[in-house]
A and B are shown apart, each in its own frame.
Chain A
Amino acid sequence: MTLAQDKVAAQGYEIVTRLDFSETTFLLEIRHAALARAARAGQFVIVMSHEEGERIPLTLADFDRGRGTITLVIQAAGKTTREMQETCQVGGHLHAVVGPMGIPSHVGSSKKVVCVGGGLGVAPIYPQARAHKEAGAYVIGVVGFRSKALMFWEDKFRACCDQLIVCTDDGSTGIKGLVTEGVKQALAEHADIDEVVAIGPPIMMKACAATTKPRAIKTTVSLNPIMVDGTGMCGGCRVRVGGKVFFACVDGPDFDGHEVDFDDLTQRLRRYAPAERRALEHWRENCRMRGAQS
């Protein structure tokens, strides 16, 4: 295998598909055959959209060994992701894509699994659901959206889940309420659940872990703190789990949801909030200037 085939010299990694799920959420499919071949459920990549960009960790939403591509689902929130939403188009390139990073999720020992994805976690829970299904487990998918119009990948989830529970904030489809309502329903219907896997914002993973705690069901969460290198070198991604400190990039990203200090994680995710606001303002200002010139 040659990596050189995956990237056109100096251009980076080609974007082969873009899909917009909503005003803020969009999908990029990127050509990277070696990464598609190596990737396992639960792993992530670090992306730099351009040479002056920052390195941002994104959990893999899909990988297709046949097509030689990986898929990322991105929510335009800060400067980098908003800029990507504006600039990343089919035929364009990302400056850097490196991975797969992190220890792959442990798949195979649980016979009945609930895979929960909320908000940004809906896409990255998909490879987990698929992997558990392929390993022979009974898979219950629980996915949450604000409303029916923002829902995506229902067909993909239905293809790998034995049961799919959809939750919406406004009740426009499925259960009205947060994904924890879906988890409660799954727990009520099944007495023999071995594991709950939850990916989403810290507050959602915390709520899922709290839901499963009384029944002491193994609960795995995927943490996505601020990182620079993603290879264990900067220590920026350190998280507190069971009173000990771990680096999410090389010791995770999966951890025991009942042991994770989610408040610490939430706070540490805000570490650069003032700088991020400045970056966003600076970028908007530049956009306005560019707009005024053209």
Chain B
Amino acid sequence: MAKKKTIRTIPQDRTPMREQPAGERRHNFGEVACGYALEDAQREAERCLFCPERFCVQGCPVSIDIPDFIRKITEKDFRGAYDIITATNLLPAICGRVCPQETQCEGQCTVGDSLEPVAIGRLERFVGDLAVAEGWINIPPIEANAFRVAIVGSGPSGMACAADLAKAGCDVTVYEAFQEAGGVLKYGIPEFRLPNSVIDSEIGKLIKLGIKFECNTLVGRLFTVEQMLGEMGFQAVFIGTGAGYPSFMGIPGESLDGVLSANELLTRCNLMQARDFPRHDTPLELGRRVAVIGAGNTAMDAMRVSLRLGAEEVHCIYRRSKAEAPARAEELHHAEQEGVEFHWLTSPVELLDDGKRGVRGMRCIRMELGEPDDSGRRRPVPVKGSEFEFDCETVVYAIGTNANPILGQTSKLRLNKRGYIEVDEDLATSIMGVYAGGDIVTGAATVIEAMGAGRKAAASIKRYLGLRDSERVYRAAEPALFGIGERNYVRLHQSVDA
């Protein structure tokens, strides 16, 4: 191998990824970030120091062997890179696009201490996209056991849990209430960030693992969790139903036409294809001026979808300042580039009626930041006498969600005060054999955190069923000790304990 790389010898600048120009992309649903070409990926891979600390791996909720897969890219062994990623993450094309890498792997990157961190997410996506294009799939030899496991919800936590259990030999069925699998990846994340075709191809891989998807199935109502463990013959159940139930503020005017949740806007557009109305039957009416309340990732998605649906002006109304906005920096930046107008330190107090049941605008009040609150962020306080009116015809709420009540209504699952499912450190619920993870446990979080929870629950379910842990068994290159590489055995237990 060549001389040891140092921070001085690696390419100093992060390799840029080609993007659709903001002026163009705000009128189409094509992907914004176009991905790395082969030479981009290799150049960026050269920026990894392969440092012994491997902080990036610790920053990853599913502990991908990041330096190892990057090394494979530098060696032009792309299939090898794919094999390493898929040993821990079956869905690189999805995670490479939607993970908040800046607070996870890239946030821990050693290179990032003095330069811009290695673009790990872009490299992961490069490998994932190449695998989709080449039709690569890693199906390990599966030794079937007699256990049947049901997964409730086909979103990221359910997909990750299902994959691990199928690899361990379980007969896995995933239940989804919508007519298509994918959960929030399908209904929530717009196609310009994550094309539906990418999701479908990743789901196709799960089907090849033997996982069955049953759509149009509302668990809790069509049958209960208790029935799944009883007459339906499942030995274990994982619940990954997400959070869902959108919040409103309770200010006057919220039942006017033209007021909707970001979930409704995104579901109509992404899953039901309202942008193709009337060829698709689901309508979505937006005014000339759209105001979105909130500044998280969902708000950014709602604003950018509104632009693409033809809104002339899109405004972001947020009660704190830009520094406190929960959205990923990249999403916020993209929204700014596309022409969204941001109104920081502004809070609506009333939605104004146009006299025909529609919205003509909102009355807002200016805020200032006071003392830090429970979240550690400075609490916004209204500035007396600063109220003003603001014109818009559509108001979209993206201020967070509450727990979905259906499973609480239909089972004996113990819930916490806020309605989320209570679990122990193994993600076990109050019903034996039933595990839960993702937003229905933690409240709204990220796709990869949900996937991490799904994998952790799968490990717990395997232990509950008395299955040996097959996590790393199939990496034939490593010496196996009772089927488990010693190094990985240690790591696995660390990650479960964490």
Contact = CB atoms under 8 A, between A and B. Distances in A.
Interface of A: 1, 3-4, 34-35, 38, 43, 48, 52-55, 79-80, 95-101, 103, 228-236, 238, 240, 245, 247, 250-251, 264, 267-268, 270-272, 274-276, 278-279, 282-283
Nearest to A43: B221
B409 A103 contact: yes
Contact of A278 (B244, B278, B357): B278
Contacts of B245: 232-233, 235, 247, 250
Contacts of B284: 275
A118 to B, nearest CB: 25
B244 to A, nearest CB: 4
A236 B223 contact: no
B221 A79 contact: no
A247 B260 CA distance: 13
Given A100-B222, A235-B263, A272 B281 contact: no
A79 B264 CA distance: 21
Nearest to B221: A100
Contacts of B263: 233-235
Contacts of B244: 231-233
Nearest to A96: B179
Most buried by B among A229, A240, A247: A229
B406 interface: yes
Contacts of A231: 177, 218, 244, 404, 406
18 contacts: A3-B222, A38-B222, A38-B223, A48-B179, A98-B179, A229-B267, A230-B177, A232-B245, A234-B264, A235-B248, A250-B404, A250-B409, A272-B285, A274-B285, A275-B284, A276-B283, A278-B277, A278-B283
Interface of B: 177-179, 187, 214-218, 221-223, 231-232, 242, 244-246, 248, 250, 254-255, 257, 260-261, 263-264, 267-268, 272-273, 277-285, 357, 397, 404-406, 409
A29 to B, nearest CB: 18
**Chain A binding surface, main DSSP class:** mixed
A101 B277 contact: no
B151 to A, nearest CB: 14
A228 B222 CA distance: 18
B281 A80 contact: yes
A50 B279 CA distance: 12
Contacts of A236: 260-261, 264
B215 A96 contact: yes
A247 B284 CA distance: 19
A234 B218 CA distance: 15
A250 B405 contact: yes
Nearest to B401: A233
Given A1-B231, A96-B179, A99-B221, A235 B281 contact: no
A240 B255 contact: yes
Nearest to A38: B222
Nearest to A244: B250
Given A3-B217, A228-B267, A52 B409 contact: no
A119 to B, nearest CB: 23
Q: Nearest 7 CB-CB pairs, A to B?
A: A275-B283, A234-B264, A54-B281, A235-B261, A96-B179, A282-B278, A98-B216
Contacts of B272: 54-55, 228
B279 A52 contact: yes
B406 A232 contact: yes
A238 B255 contact: yes
Contacts of B260: 234-236
Contacts of A99: 218, 221-222
Given A38-B221, A99-B218, A233-B246, A283 B278 contact: yes
A41 B222 CA distance: 14
B217 A233 contact: no
Contacts of A264: 255
A245 B253 CA distance: 12
Contact of B179 (A3, A95, A247, A270): A95
Contacts of B277: 275, 278-279
A1 B232 contact: yes
A275 B187 CA distance: 21
A10 B467 CA distance: 34
Q: Which of B215, B248, B281, B357 has the most CB of A within 10 A?
A: B281
Given A54-B280, A98-B217, A279-B277, 17 more contacts: A1-B223, A1-B232, A3-B222, A34-B222, A43-B221, A55-B282, A95-B179, A98-B218, A99-B218, A232-B405, A238-B248, A247-B245, A250-B404, A250-B409, A275-B283, A275-B284, A275-B285
Interface centre among B260, B264, B357, B409 (most CB of A within 10 A): B264
B116 to A, nearest CB: 38
A32 B22 CA distance: 48
A267 B405 CA distance: 27
A272 B264 CA distance: 13
Contacts of A229: 177-178, 187, 267
Contacts of B215: 96
A291 B442 CA distance: 55
